[in-house]
């Protein structure tokens, strides 16, 4: 089964960036890497910190191999993903 919508070659996903409480829609090729989608989401949300300080999660689980494509990681059309800080920050 292909993760992309038939005929378009693009995979629609929603990425919630917890740093700014924004949910951003994307349509990307299913061959896009996990790391690239994370970087795109952080840039679109105007988060200026190092992307290595964040992880991308799908269905509650961290996508550990960020070099994998979205299709290889099992991301389905209209999936909801979340970008969160790798380490929790203390509340001040």
Q: E strands along the chain, which residues? A: 10-17, 22-29, 54-58, 61-62, 79-85
In a domain, 5, yes or no: no
In a domain, 91, yes or no: no
pLDDT digit string, tens, across residues 7-35? 568 999 999 999 899 899 999 999 999 99
Q: What is the pLDDT of residue 3?
A: 45
CATH at residue 40: 3.10.20.90
pLDDT digit string, tens, across residues 50-73? 999 999 999 999 999 999 999 999
Comparing 74 with 6, the larger pLDDT belongs to 74
Sheet order of strands, 54-58 included: 22-29, 10-17, 79-85, 54-58, 61-62
Q: What is the pLDDT of residue 19?
A: 87
Total domains in the chain come to: 1
Alpha helices in 16-81 (DSSP H): 34-44
In a domain, 65, yes or no: yes
Domain interval for residue 20: 10-85
Of residues 92, 69, 50, the one with CA closest to residue 83: 50
- Spacing of C-alpha 72 from chain mean position: 14
In a domain, 60, yes or no: yes
- The dihedral sign for the CA sequence 10, 46, 57, 73: positive
């Amino acid at each position: 089964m292909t993760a992309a919508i038939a005929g378009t070659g693009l995979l629609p996903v929603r990425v919630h960036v917890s740093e700014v409480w924004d949910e951003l829609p994307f349509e990307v090729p299913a061959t896009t890497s996990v790391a690239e989608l994370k970087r795109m989401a952080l840039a679109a949300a105007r988060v200026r910190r190092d992307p290595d300080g964040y992880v991308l999660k799908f269905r509650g689980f961290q996508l550990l191999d960020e070099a994998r494509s979205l299709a290889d990681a099992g991301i389905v059309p209209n999936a909801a993903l979340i970008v969160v800080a790798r380490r929790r920050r203390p509340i001040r």
